[in-house]
Amino acid sequence: MKFLLDFLPILLFFGTFKYASAHAESAARFATEQFGFLVSGGVVGATEAPVLLSTMVVILATVMQIVVLLMRGKKIDLMLWISLALVVLMGGATVWFHNETFIKWKPSVLYWAMGLAFWLSAALWRKNLLQTLLGDQVALPAAIWQRLNVAWVAFFALMGLLNLYVAYHFSTATWVDFKLFGGTGLMLLFTLGQGLYLSRHLQPPPAALPIKSRANNEEQAVP
Protein backbone atom coordinates (compact mmCIF):
# COMPACT_ATOMS: atom_id res chain seq x y z
CA MET A 1 0.00 0.00 0.00
CA LYS A 2 2.77 2.43 0.96
CA PHE A 3 4.75 1.56 -2.18
CA LEU A 4 1.76 2.38 -4.38
CA LEU A 5 1.05 5.58 -2.47
CA ASP A 6 4.65 6.72 -2.86
CA PHE A 7 4.64 6.19 -6.62
CA LEU A 8 1.06 7.34 -7.28
CA PRO A 9 1.97 10.96 -8.19
CA ILE A 10 4.53 9.93 -10.81
CA LEU A 11 2.22 7.24 -12.21
CA LEU A 12 -0.59 9.79 -12.57
CA PHE A 13 1.81 12.29 -14.14
CA PHE A 14 2.89 9.68 -16.68
CA GLY A 15 -0.65 8.52 -17.46
CA THR A 16 -2.04 12.04 -17.82
CA PHE A 17 0.82 13.11 -20.08
CA LYS A 18 0.43 10.11 -22.39
CA TYR A 19 -3.35 10.49 -22.65
CA ALA A 20 -3.18 14.26 -23.21
CA SER A 21 -0.44 13.82 -25.83
CA ALA A 22 -2.65 11.40 -27.75
CA HIS A 23 -5.57 13.88 -27.61
CA ALA A 24 -3.68 17.17 -27.74
CA GLU A 25 -6.41 19.36 -29.25
CA SER A 26 -9.07 18.11 -26.84
CA ALA A 27 -6.65 18.43 -23.93
CA ALA A 28 -5.89 22.04 -24.93
CA ARG A 29 -9.57 22.95 -25.06
CA PHE A 30 -10.25 21.27 -21.73
CA ALA A 31 -7.27 22.97 -20.06
CA THR A 32 -8.27 26.38 -21.44
CA GLU A 33 -11.91 26.04 -20.40
CA GLN A 34 -11.32 24.57 -16.95
CA PHE A 35 -7.97 26.02 -15.89
CA GLY A 36 -7.48 29.08 -18.06
CA PHE A 37 -7.60 31.31 -14.99
CA LEU A 38 -4.44 29.59 -13.70
CA VAL A 39 -2.50 30.26 -16.90
CA SER A 40 -0.90 33.51 -18.03
CA GLY A 41 -2.98 34.73 -20.96
CA GLY A 42 -5.80 32.30 -20.19
CA VAL A 43 -5.20 30.08 -23.24
CA VAL A 44 -3.42 26.70 -23.35
CA GLY A 45 -1.97 25.52 -26.65
CA ALA A 46 -1.99 21.94 -27.91
CA THR A 47 1.76 21.55 -27.45
CA GLU A 48 1.57 22.83 -23.87
CA ALA A 49 -1.53 21.01 -22.68
CA PRO A 50 0.03 17.58 -21.89
CA VAL A 51 2.68 18.99 -19.56
CA LEU A 52 0.37 21.54 -17.96
CA LEU A 53 -2.38 19.02 -17.25
CA SER A 54 -0.01 16.35 -15.96
CA THR A 55 1.66 18.97 -13.75
CA MET A 56 -1.66 19.98 -12.22
CA VAL A 57 -2.49 16.33 -11.65
CA VAL A 58 0.81 15.64 -9.88
CA ILE A 59 0.32 18.69 -7.63
CA LEU A 60 -3.13 17.43 -6.62
CA ALA A 61 -1.86 13.86 -6.19
CA THR A 62 1.00 14.97 -3.92
CA VAL A 63 -1.39 17.01 -1.77
CA MET A 64 -3.77 14.04 -1.53
CA GLN A 65 -0.86 11.77 -0.68
CA ILE A 66 -0.10 13.85 2.40
CA VAL A 67 -3.80 14.16 3.32
CA VAL A 68 -4.21 10.38 3.23
CA LEU A 69 -1.13 9.84 5.41
CA LEU A 70 -2.35 12.42 7.92
CA MET A 71 -5.82 10.83 8.03
CA ARG A 72 -4.19 7.46 8.74
CA GLY A 73 -2.14 8.98 11.54
CA LYS A 74 1.16 8.40 9.75
CA LYS A 75 4.24 10.56 10.16
CA ILE A 76 5.06 12.70 7.13
CA ASP A 77 8.71 12.38 6.14
CA LEU A 78 10.62 15.64 5.72
CA MET A 79 11.43 14.75 2.10
CA LEU A 80 7.74 14.43 1.30
CA TRP A 81 7.15 17.95 2.61
CA ILE A 82 10.07 19.17 0.52
CA SER A 83 8.66 17.34 -2.51
CA LEU A 84 5.28 19.00 -1.96
CA ALA A 85 6.87 22.45 -1.70
CA LEU A 86 8.88 21.89 -4.87
CA VAL A 87 6.01 20.50 -6.92
CA VAL A 88 3.69 23.34 -5.89
CA LEU A 89 6.32 26.04 -6.49
CA MET A 90 7.90 24.71 -9.68
CA GLY A 91 4.74 23.08 -10.97
CA GLY A 92 2.83 26.30 -10.40
CA ALA A 93 5.49 28.20 -12.35
CA THR A 94 5.21 25.67 -15.18
CA VAL A 95 1.46 26.17 -15.40
CA TRP A 96 1.45 29.96 -15.10
CA PHE A 97 4.34 30.65 -17.47
CA HIS A 98 3.53 27.88 -20.00
CA ASN A 99 7.08 26.66 -19.44
CA GLU A 100 7.88 23.00 -18.87
CA THR A 101 11.44 23.82 -17.80
CA PHE A 102 10.36 24.43 -14.20
CA ILE A 103 8.78 21.00 -13.70
CA LYS A 104 11.73 19.34 -15.45
CA TRP A 105 14.06 20.83 -12.87
CA LYS A 106 11.95 19.58 -9.96
CA PRO A 107 13.39 16.00 -9.81
CA SER A 108 16.95 17.32 -9.92
CA VAL A 109 16.34 19.81 -7.11
CA LEU A 110 14.71 17.05 -5.03
CA TYR A 111 17.60 14.64 -5.67
CA TRP A 112 20.11 17.31 -4.68
CA ALA A 113 18.12 18.24 -1.59
CA MET A 114 18.18 14.62 -0.44
CA GLY A 115 21.89 14.30 -1.17
CA LEU A 116 22.58 17.56 0.67
CA ALA A 117 20.60 16.34 3.67
CA PHE A 118 22.64 13.11 3.82
CA TRP A 119 25.92 15.02 3.46
CA LEU A 120 25.24 17.89 5.87
CA SER A 121 23.86 15.63 8.60
CA ALA A 122 27.13 13.67 8.56
CA ALA A 123 29.48 16.63 8.03
CA LEU A 124 27.96 19.09 10.50
CA TRP A 125 26.08 17.03 13.07
CA ARG A 126 27.94 13.71 12.85
CA LYS A 127 24.60 12.00 12.25
CA ASN A 128 24.26 9.31 9.61
CA LEU A 129 20.72 9.57 8.25
CA LEU A 130 20.88 6.15 6.62
CA GLN A 131 21.88 4.58 9.92
CA THR A 132 19.07 6.48 11.63
CA LEU A 133 16.58 5.03 9.17
CA LEU A 134 17.88 1.45 9.07
CA GLY A 135 19.98 1.06 12.20
CA ASP A 136 17.22 -0.75 14.12
CA GLN A 137 16.96 -3.42 11.42
CA VAL A 138 20.57 -3.73 10.26
CA ALA A 139 23.76 -4.03 12.34
CA LEU A 140 26.84 -2.70 10.50
CA PRO A 141 30.29 -1.36 11.42
CA ALA A 142 30.52 2.43 11.57
CA ALA A 143 32.87 2.53 8.57
CA ILE A 144 30.31 0.71 6.42
CA TRP A 145 27.55 3.14 7.38
CA GLN A 146 29.84 5.98 6.36
CA ARG A 147 30.57 4.41 2.97
CA LEU A 148 26.88 3.84 2.33
CA ASN A 149 26.11 7.44 3.21
CA VAL A 150 28.76 8.68 0.75
CA ALA A 151 27.39 6.34 -1.91
CA TRP A 152 23.87 7.76 -1.53
CA VAL A 153 25.17 11.33 -1.68
CA ALA A 154 27.00 10.54 -4.92
CA PHE A 155 23.99 8.71 -6.34
CA PHE A 156 21.62 11.61 -5.69
CA ALA A 157 24.10 14.08 -7.18
CA LEU A 158 24.48 12.01 -10.36
CA MET A 159 20.74 11.41 -10.68
CA GLY A 160 20.13 15.16 -10.57
CA LEU A 161 22.64 15.70 -13.37
CA LEU A 162 21.27 12.81 -15.41
CA ASN A 163 17.72 14.17 -15.15
CA LEU A 164 18.83 17.53 -16.53
CA TYR A 165 20.83 15.87 -19.31
CA VAL A 166 17.74 13.98 -20.47
CA ALA A 167 15.54 17.06 -20.05
CA TYR A 168 17.74 19.26 -22.23
CA HIS A 169 18.93 16.76 -24.84
CA PHE A 170 15.75 14.78 -25.54
CA SER A 171 12.08 15.45 -26.17
CA THR A 172 9.62 16.03 -23.34
CA ALA A 173 8.00 12.67 -24.08
CA THR A 174 11.36 10.92 -23.65
CA TRP A 175 11.97 12.83 -20.41
CA VAL A 176 8.57 11.68 -19.07
CA ASP A 177 9.46 8.07 -19.92
CA PHE A 178 12.83 8.47 -18.21
CA LYS A 179 11.20 10.04 -15.15
CA LEU A 180 9.11 6.92 -14.57
CA PHE A 181 11.13 4.03 -15.98
CA GLY A 182 14.69 5.35 -16.01
CA GLY A 183 14.71 7.08 -12.64
CA THR A 184 12.77 4.34 -10.89
CA GLY A 185 14.82 1.60 -12.55
CA LEU A 186 18.15 3.16 -11.60
CA MET A 187 16.95 3.66 -8.03
CA LEU A 188 15.93 -0.01 -7.86
CA LEU A 189 19.26 -1.20 -9.28
CA PHE A 190 21.21 1.00 -6.89
CA THR A 191 19.16 -0.27 -3.94
CA LEU A 192 19.73 -3.89 -5.00
CA GLY A 193 23.45 -3.20 -5.32
CA GLN A 194 23.46 -1.74 -1.83
CA GLY A 195 21.68 -4.85 -0.57
CA LEU A 196 24.37 -7.09 -2.05
CA TYR A 197 27.07 -4.94 -0.49
CA LEU A 198 25.31 -4.99 2.88
CA SER A 199 25.07 -8.78 2.85
CA ARG A 200 28.88 -8.98 2.98
CA HIS A 201 29.16 -6.84 6.10
CA LEU A 202 26.12 -7.70 8.22
CA GLN A 203 26.94 -8.37 11.86
CA PRO A 204 24.82 -11.21 13.31
CA PRO A 205 23.09 -10.36 16.59
CA PRO A 206 24.02 -12.42 19.67
CA ALA A 207 20.74 -14.34 19.43
CA ALA A 208 21.83 -15.63 16.04
CA LEU A 209 24.79 -17.62 17.46
CA PRO A 210 24.49 -21.40 17.14
CA ILE A 211 22.83 -23.12 20.10
CA LYS A 212 25.92 -25.21 20.73
CA SER A 213 28.13 -22.11 20.90
CA ARG A 214 25.78 -20.42 23.33
CA ALA A 215 25.73 -23.54 25.51
CA ASN A 216 29.53 -23.64 25.59
CA ASN A 217 29.63 -19.96 26.53
CA GLU A 218 27.17 -20.58 29.36
CA GLU A 219 29.22 -23.54 30.64
CA GLN A 220 32.36 -21.44 30.64
CA ALA A 221 30.57 -18.74 32.59
CA VAL A 222 29.63 -21.18 35.42
CA PRO A 223 32.22 -20.98 38.26
pLDDT digits (tens, 9 = 90+) for 66-94: 998 899 898 888 888 999 999 999 999 99
Per-residue pLDDT averaged across 203-213, rounded? Answer: 50
State the pLDDT confidence band at 101, using cuts at 50, 70 and 90. Answer: very high
Per-residue pLDDT averaged across 39-50, rounded? Answer: 94
At 145 the pLDDT is: 83
State the pLDDT confidence band at 155, using cuts at 50, 70 and 90. Answer: very high
Statement: residue 25 has pLDDT above 90: yes
The H-or-E segment that residue 182 falls in is none
State the pLDDT confidence band at 221, using cuts at 50, 70 and 90. Answer: very low
Interaxial angle between packed helices 2-22 and 24-35, expressed in degrees from 0 to 180 and rounded to the nearest 10? 110
Measured in whole angstroms, the distance separating CA 104 from the mean position of its chain's CA atoms is 14
Q: What is the mean pLDDT of the chain?
A: 87
The rounded distance, in Å, linking the Cα atoms of 204 and 85 is 41
At 129 the pLDDT is: 82
At 222 the pLDDT is: 43
- Closest to 45 in 3D by CA, of 55, 54, 57, 36: 36
How many other CB atoms are there within 10 angstroms of residue 9's CB atom? 21
At 2 the pLDDT is: 59
Distance spanning both ends of the chain, measured CA to CA: 54
At 219 the pLDDT is: 45
- Closest to 48 in 3D by CA, of 91, 106, 95: 95
* Residue 72 phi, psi dihedral angles, 5° rounding: -90, 0
At 1 the pLDDT is: 56
pTM of the full structure: 0.83
Residues 119-139: tens digit of each pLDDT: 998 888 888 888 887 766 777
Per-residue pLDDT averaged across 57-67, rounded? Answer: 94
